Amino acid sequence: MTTQRLAPLPLLAMVVLVLCVLAATAAVRLTGIDIRQQADAPTVSQRALRFADAQDGSLQVIDDRSGKVLDTVVAGTGGFIRSTMRGLVRERKRQGIGPEMPFELIGRSDGRLTLVDPATQRRIDLESFGPVNAAVFARLL
């Protein structure tokens, strides 16, 4: 039987790579840098919203304070708003929470939008889906 030796250069490269990863991880942990989420800018506008399915398949967006219908998303349109709300409602159902509490749409001073479900504490940073999709919610403010 013959034994093969690893060439020293690739072995050294692997050791250096592992040491760099460990050093980077330690630097992040020791400095307290939070790489998960950017800090929220101050709130400049906020609106409590309810979403209701109509008999014709449309989706009504209702201002919780006034009860006024802000928008009606016709059946077969509004894919982004429908899928976003479907995900939030699914989480409420999973946790056994009903539709009593409205959702909160928050406009920030840096132009970002956040949709928050106070019932489940889930939040969606809408700008991460691009300006066209964020604009769907921006017009509701």
State pLDDT tens for residues 45-90: 999 999 988 888 888 999 999 999 999 988 888 889 999 998 999 9
How far apart CA 135 and CA 137 sit, in angstroms, is 5
- Reported as a single tens digit per residue, the pLDDT across 93-129 is 999 998 889 999 999 999 899 999 999 999 999 988 9
Say if residue 134's pLDDT is above 80.
yes
Nearest CA to 59 out of 73, 49, 79, 80 is that of 73
What lies within 8 Å, CB to CB, of 70 at 6+ separation is 49, 61, 62, 63, 140
Which helix (H) or strand (E) is 115 found in, with range? strand 113-117
Radius of gyration of the chain (CA): 24
Q: What is the 3-state secondary structure (H, E, C) of 17-41?
A: HHHHHHHHHHHHHHHCCCCCCCCCC
Say if residue 31's pLDDT is above 90.
no
**pLDDT score of 45:** 92
